[in-house]
Amino acid sequence: MGSNKLSENVSDFLFEYKTPRLIALRDKRVGLIFRLIQLVVLAYVVGWVFIYEKGYQSTGSTISSVSVKVKGFGFTNLSSVGPKVLDVVDYTFPSQGSSSFVIMTNYILTRKQSMKSCAQHRTSGECEADSDCPTGKFSRYGQGMMRGSCRNNSAGVKTCEIFGWCPVENDLHLPNPPLLMAAENFTIFIKNSITFTAFGVSRRNLVEFITKAYLRNCTYHKVHHPLCPVFRLGYIAEEIKENFSTLAYRGAMIGIVIDWDCDLDWPVTHCKPTYSFHQHYRSLTKDQVSVGFNFRYAKYYVENGTEMRDLYKVFGIRFDVMVHGKAGKFNIIPTMTTIGSGIGVFGVATIVCDLVLLHLLPKRNYYKQKKFKNVESSLRAGSGH
């Protein structure tokens, strides 16, 4: 008996075929649920997939390039240097602007350094005896090679004697207000080109109506001049809701985002960029470690046969220009794929209504009898006699 039952189950599994059975059911509750679900699915497919996400379009990769020019003049009058006018070559790094560049807003200058022996600054660590300064060793925060001697520095603090660039740097006294507050009115001119390779379309952020006369007089404003590619640093600080003097004091890192979102089913002149700004990190509190942005560079020269240098610890605003590009154009393949997916989603209404019909309604057993019917084939029926 057991083997006959097993073979019968296997036979049912292998040779049974189920075909859908259509039943017209007049029930207000189920009918209302069915139409509501269909309406929601229709709104999703048409409103979200087709209109908002443009599911009828194909998209492709992009290629972009950026070049930057900075303009403006600054003035400093340090007692150790005297009055000095700084132009773009002095305060922009690298000197030829790229998609990532720094504009100097503050600095600490250590003049006339030469290679000799001296006591390091207390920020490199204090010492108590010569044994704290092993000869020929370098400390992680030191300012040169230690010479085995612990002695008083120029401030009367006992530190290790080193061989290196002397006098050593003292970076504790950062000028406040910043030396180049004039940078608030410096301008950045950004040229950007982008190519949508899949469609053979190239665009520049210098769109059709921009002329030389317009560029000489415009600066970017998100309402009045949203397509002007000339940006004032003070306005960028306003857009990220920061005080420019705070940014200029210790430096900062700011992103300039150029976003191209183009519908190429329209004339290509409608493809225009939008600009936005964000700070890479927000808080500039005293308790935060390593705030701002800074780096060091030196100007080398020879004086009386001795190699010397002026060391600059530069604080500035680093700008990163980032380009995002997206374009779409009508294509029959994604259109048919989207339509097919939408038709498939309509099946959700049938599944939900069947669950309600067969498991929740009071007459669910009656509905099950009407929906499912087992039919024996003539072969099976004949074998029973």
Fold of the domain spanning 62-120+168-330: atp-gated p2x4 ion channel fold (2.60.490)
Each residue's pLDDT, cut to its tens digit, for the chain (385 residues) gives 556 777 777 776 777 766 666 667 677 777 788 788 888 888 888 888 888 888 888 888 788 889 888 888 888 888 777 787 888 888 888 876 678 899 999 999 999 999 999 999 998 889 999 999 999 999 888 899 999 999 998 888 999 999 999 999 988 889 999 999 999 999 999 999 999 998 989 999 999 999 999 999 999 999 999 999 999 999 999 999 999 999 999 999 999 999 999 999 999 999 999 999 999 876 555 567 778 899 999 999 999 999 999 999 999 999 999 999 999 988 898 888 888 888 888 787 778 877 777 777 777 776 776 676 665 655 444 444 4
* DSSP code per residue over 363-375: THHHHHHHH----
76 and 107 in contact (C-beta within 8 Å)?
no
71/183 Cα distance (integer angstroms): 10
130/150 Cα distance (integer angstroms): 5
45/349 Cα distance (integer angstroms): 14
187 and 230 in contact (C-beta within 8 Å)?
yes
pLDDT the model gives residue 285: 55
72 and 188 in contact (C-beta within 8 Å)?
no
pLDDT the model gives residue 35: 82
pTM above 0.85, yes or no: no
Buried b (16+ CB within 10 A) or exposed e, 281-292: eeebeeeeeebb
pLDDT the model gives residue 344: 82
Output the CA torsion 139→143→148→150 (10° steps). Answer: -110
pLDDT the model gives residue 30: 76
- Give the rounded distance of the alpha carbon of 280 from its chain centre: 9
319/256 Cα distance (integer angstroms): 7
Residues forming beta bridges with residue 27, ordered by sequence position: none
Output the CA torsion 266→271→276→281 (10° steps). Answer: 100
Nearest CA to 194 out of 266, 267, 271 is that of 271
Nearest CA to 273 out of 287, 256, 255, 261 is that of 261
Q: How many residues does the chain have?
A: 385
pLDDT the model gives residue 381: 47
Per-domain boundaries in the chain: 62-120+168-330
3-state secondary structure of 228: coil
pLDDT the model gives residue 287: 60
pLDDT the model gives residue 225: 95
